[in-house]
Structure 1
Amino acid sequence: MNGMKTAMLLAALTALFMGLGYIFGGAGGAVIALIVAAGMNLFTYWNADKIVLRMHNAREVDANSAPEFYAMVADLARNARLPMPHVYIVEDPSPNAFATGRNPENAAVAATTGLLSMLSREEVAGVMAHELGHVRNRDTLIMTMVATIAGAISMIANFALFMPRGGNGENHNPMAGILAVIVAPFAAMIVQMAISRTREYGADRAGAEISGNPRALASALAKISGAAQAIPSTVAERNPAAAQLYIVPTHVSELFSTHPATARRIAALEAMGGPIAQVAARPAARSAVTPTPRRSALDPHGRP
């Protein structure tokens, strides 16, 4: 059901992009908009992970440079029956994490130093399981495509303010143009939020199944949601579209957030505590981490 809803919303976003092209360029503009949308999505398919990681100045780590963090992700990937993703650390005091990549075979997960220093080992495992949930659900490609088209709609709307009118008499209604400039970016934002919120709930549930500890993920969300609002992310400030990649929103109001209300996510995770904990107990799945109550967080520089 979520897959159908996402497909319909993505189609609506593409139609909105084409409609904007039609308003400012007639039938030819709509065709050009469709070609541009296809080209952007193709470029995004092959380069999204590189763009996102470079944007964050992410540092790749391995079993030597960050042994405990890397081993944790490896165990979680086995639990999820996923190929081992590339693992990155981002030097950023704002506590957050994200996943990127066009498919599970080319995925990457990243956590900020702020997150690794703030959370316990079990909470970090819950967060990284959530990110692997995005990978398993193939959300990473969809979310990047959505951000790309939504950004292009806003860009065209801004350019339209300076575009000349008239000439061939085709669809140059000034009121329609003004309405498009105002409404199109807002509509794109609404569609983007709808897709993102649906995907976050799915990743929370997948993360609970992968880690076998939904309450640890709920605890992590409670800790980092307020801190992510209070400690600005330099990347998200430069590029607001990056905020939808994170596990919790950063420095935005709930009304305009691409994420569901954190309190609702926490309540949903706490409600599934019993049944989900049994999933990780199946013989085929290894425990993600050895429970270590009150243990300090993973060292972001790899020292256990």
Structure 2
Amino acid sequence: MTTVTNRVRRFTQNHILIMKNIFLTLATVFAFACETEITPKLNAPAEIIVVDAWVNQKMEPQKIRITRSQPYFEQSIPKKIPGAHVVIEDLNSGEIYEFQEEAESYFWYPTDQPFGKVGHQYKLTVTVDDQEFEAFSLMGRVPPIDSIIFHYNPKDMIVKKEYYTAEFVASDPAGAGDAYWIKAWKNGAFLGNPGELNMAYDAGFSAGQPVDGQEFIIPIRKDFMNPYDPHPEKANELLPPYEVGDSLYVEIHSLDHLAFDFLYGLYFQIARPGGFAELFSMPLANTSTNIYPVGDEDTPVTGFFNTSAVSSRGLKLSEELAKASMKEH
């Protein structure tokens, strides 16, 4: 009887020990799975001058922002540095574009001609408190956008109604080495989420692909044009990219090679996975810059200067276009 009792006691103790181990293991797993939002106090970093100079050939005011960097957790919009002198020089023709200071930025206004010429080299000079900074950019070419097409799609597993997708039709001109930033607007709203940054090198994603002089590959000309937004009221369901009455407007901006590399690096800084996955992500860091101090090489500066030619086209999905697309399906 005593032997049986001891066996029962040992079994019970072992069972309790096993349950404790299981509980501790589960508690540890859940502890690592939890995320706690913190707001650490960081030492104020040294301020760095930031030059945001993306100039293009559109017949609209051209803006250059001159600001100072802010702490990582600062939520406000950086304020303009007043009193700067901002000039762009065409190194081929000698033409000078002087930007005028206004409330938030520095502006140049086109009159009868847009800014710049394709194939010309441009020099940006910014002077802040007697410190001079400069940058250079070559204005590249862009292909025309031949058309925009809407395609009919029957309802499926994720879009539970008939819908339309869109694409633009354009071909990279012959001759390797062209780089572009393709921008899109749905119903006037810019598709500007980090995952919607759409760049092309020739007709593909990067240099070295055998796609020079061809039509842009499908992901560039189509996938980035169609926003599949989550349905606000139905889980596991997406809203149609386009319905009758919606519109798509597309612009192709030329990039010089350094600007292409800058945007590529920027993408990896802003398209962050968040949460636990951040432990394995690329560390945050300043992206590359083509802005440099003149004379005093130790003066910190960041930002970028690029000059772009631009082609564009837009189209609204009318009832007539929708019916024609359904017939072609």
- TM-score interval, smaller chain: under 0.3
- Which is strand-richer, 1 or 2? 2
- Which is helix-richer, 1 or 2? 1
Question: Which protein has greater RCO, CA pairs closer than 8 Å, 6+ apart?
Answer: 1
Q: TM-score when scaled to structure 2?
A: 0.24
Larger radius of gyration: 2
Q: TM-score when scaled to structure 1?
A: 0.26
